[in-house]
Amino acid sequence: MQNNGWDEFEIGAMLRSFDGEVKDIATTPQEDRNYSSNNSFTASVADWRIEKPIFNKDYCIDCQFCWIYCPDISIISRDKKMIGIDMDHCKGCGICVEVCPTNPKSLLMFPEQADEEAELAGWPEKDKGEK
Amino acid sequence: MAFDKMELRDVEVWDGNFAAAQAMRQVQIDVVAAYPITPSTPIVEGYAKFLADGYVEGEFVMVESEHAAMSGCIGASAAGGRVATATSSQGFALMVETLYQASGMRLPIILNVVNRALAAPLNVNGDHSDMYLGRDSGWIQLDAYSPQEAYDLNFIAFRVAEDHDVRLPCMVHQDGFMTSHTAQGVNTLTDDQAYGFVGDFKPMNDMLDFDHPVTHGVQTEEDWHFEHKARQHNDLMTKVLPKVQAAFDDFEALTGRKYNIVESYDMDDADVAVICMGTSVETAREVAKEMRTQGIKAGVVGLRVFRPFPFEQIKEALKGAKAIATLDRSSPNGAPGALFNEIAGTLYNTESRALLSGYVYGLGGRDLTKQHLVDLYTELQANVDAGKVTTPLQQFIGVRGPKLAFL
């Protein structure tokens, strides 16, 4: 954002989310939205994360729980199918893992530096509830 | 407009509160969020009654405090509604934090302030402590001296505040009880005249414009805050008074009632002048006329617009005066008095170098009598005759005990 002078911005402590007019924004995928430079969509907060979620689509039932519970809209879902995680905005809170109902879970938390391929290969087995 | 119109007589007997409530009905306010406090309660109560009786299409939001009242107004205004409320004194003080939000967010909210003293000691009567408390808040402040003016200035306030070149909130002040509860004849506008004068609300960056989403109330730090405040100050200093004058001109064309940014009475040839606000202006006018029968050329200057402070108009009004008294109806608490300081600041670099003295009066509703003003004008004339201020620069009028004077 430019460092404009006092006479070079719109009055009021307000910011626009999008450049220009928007129509049917709710049905427009995020990647197709004309976000303004003021919108936090263009800012990466990935470095806030200590642990990251990894998504294993083999067990996912597309229940959308993770999508609806994510506080940062970082679950990418299209046509009610879970696609993956927006790693620019995910802060690693782990709520998606907490709410995932499958057994084994389709989302698990791993250290930020963990290798996705390796973790998917070593995914836990179904918990049979044995004590 | 899908609401019932009200037929008013040309002249109605209204007190200042009811006059303000009628103005709020006639401009069809969308949202009033309010909390009651003496002496302003009848304003929002009046609006609520009009709403309940089907004379307004709007929302009345009952809240738990004045802080919440103004917060509700801010939300409704940011959403894109025509918004107003009323308060006094302690309630006004509780609103202060949100007053700065409203002005910084450039929301054209109208706040009727029925001036009342600030505790302690607790006091419900009129002085200008709350009005003075608001003077750095970035709001426009208009001052009414009578119920008629409380009615008229509400229309001016909406017209100016909502102008897209201004977009600043505006207070309409009237004196607690002296104006708010004193019924006088008020010349009315018809509902169509009143609404036509103010016009439809024209939203700007409203949150309910879903095609242009905005975030209101953003945070800025040292990189942006200064520019926002500078812009607001610039607009107060350069844009507001011309718009106020234009609104006064249009209002005069509509009603025949003429208002000025600074009201001057008998000032054309005045040697001695009193400058004050509120109901005291009317008392001073009467005394000034009587002083003239005794050979003292007395005049009165009343501030109609307190913020932005009308430097040029005051210079013009006071240019011929030889001795001037400022009347501050608020305890200066360790300073010469706001009006004294501001008039001094206004006149210091002018040619006139009039003799300036300050008076503190009327705290907590203490009367300012005609005799007080006779004595005051007599002192000013003595200053003129002596060619210097013969009294201390700050004196107290009407307080019991040994004479109190400083500076």
List pLDDT tens digits, range B218-256: 999 999 999 999 999 999 999 999 999 999 999 999 999
Using the predicted structure, report yes or no on whether residue A28 has a pLDDT greater than 80. Answer: yes
Q: Which of A14, A18, A19, A28 is the best substitution to test chain B (most B C-beta atoms within 10 A)? A: A14
**Test mutation, A1, A11, A23, A39, chain B, max B CBs within 10 A:** A11
Is the link from the previous residue into B332 a cis peptide, with omega within 30 of 0? no
Closest-approach residue (CA) in chain A for B169: A12
Q: What is the pLDDT of residue B111?
A: 98
pLDDT in tens, B383-398: 999 999 999 999 999 9
Q: How far is A4 from chain B (nearest CA, A)?
A: 8
Per-residue model confidence as pLDDT tens digits over B345-370: 999 999 888 999 999 999 999 999 99
Whether residue B1 is predicted with pLDDT greater than 70 in this model: the reply is: no
Q: Residue A9 and residue B231: Cβ atoms within 8 Å? A: yes
CA neighbours closer than 13 Å in the CB half-sphere of residue B165: 11
**Chain A with chain B: Cβ pairs closer than 8 A:** 64
CA–CA min distance A17, chain B (Å):
6
B59 in helix, strand or coil? strand
Q: Measured between beta carbons, which residues in chain A are less than 8 angstroms from residue B232?
A: 11
pLDDT tier at A30 (50, 70, 90 boundaries)? confident
Q: What percent of chain B has pLDDT over 90?
A: 97
SS3 A78: strand
Which residues of B fall within a CB distance of 8 Å from A41? none
Please, is A25 exposed, middle or buried when counting C-beta atoms within 10 Å of its C-beta (0-12, 13-18, 19+)? Answer: middle
Is the pLDDT reported for residue B281 higher than 70? yes
* Alpha-carbon distance B207 to nearest alpha carbon in chain A (angstroms): 10
What CA–CA distances, in Å, run from B259 to A120, B105, B143, B274, B278? 78, 29, 11, 19, 14
**Residue B2 pLDDT class (50, 70, 90 cuts):** low
B107 to chain A: which residues are within 8 Å by CB? 12
Residues of A in contact with B164 (CB under 8 A): none
Pull the structure tokens for residue B237.
């200093």
CB contact under 8 A, B205 and A14: yes
- Kindly report, residue by residue over B323-347, the tens digit of the pLDDT: 999 999 999 999 999 999 999 999 9
- What is the ipTM, given to two decimal places? 0.85
Residue A12: closest CA among chain B residues belongs to which residue? B105
What's the whole-number mean pLDDT along residues B177-201? 98
Quote the pTM value: 0.91
Query: Would you say residue B285 has pLDDT above 90?
Result: yes
A57 contact B CB<8A = no
Whether the predicted pLDDT of A129 surpasses 80: no
Q: Containing H/E element for B114? A: strand B110-115
Comparing CB atoms, the residue among A6, A15, A22 nearest residue B218 is: A15
First CA to last CA distance, chain B: 59
Per-residue pLDDT at A13 exceeds 80: yes
pLDDT tens-digit readout, B46-85: 999 999 999 999 999 999 999 999 999 999 999 999 999 9
* CB nearest to B214's CB, from A3, A11, A15: A15
Structure-token pair, residue B371 = 């005799």
- The pLDDT tens digits for A40-79 are 888 899 999 999 999 999 999 999 999 999 999 999 999 9
pLDDT of residue A1: 57
Q: Are B377 and B272 in contact (CB under 8 A)?
A: yes
Q: What gap in Å lies between CA B360 and CA B204, rounded to an integer?
A: 42
Nearest CA in chain B to A7: B231
Say how far apart CA A124 and CA A100 lie, in whole Å.
14
* A2 contact B CB<8A: no
CA distance B387 to B14: 46
Average pLDDT, whole number, for chain B?
Answer: 97
Chain A residue at shortest CA distance from B164: A11
Of A33-47, B24-38, B191-205, B308-322, give the lowest mean pLDDT range: A33-47
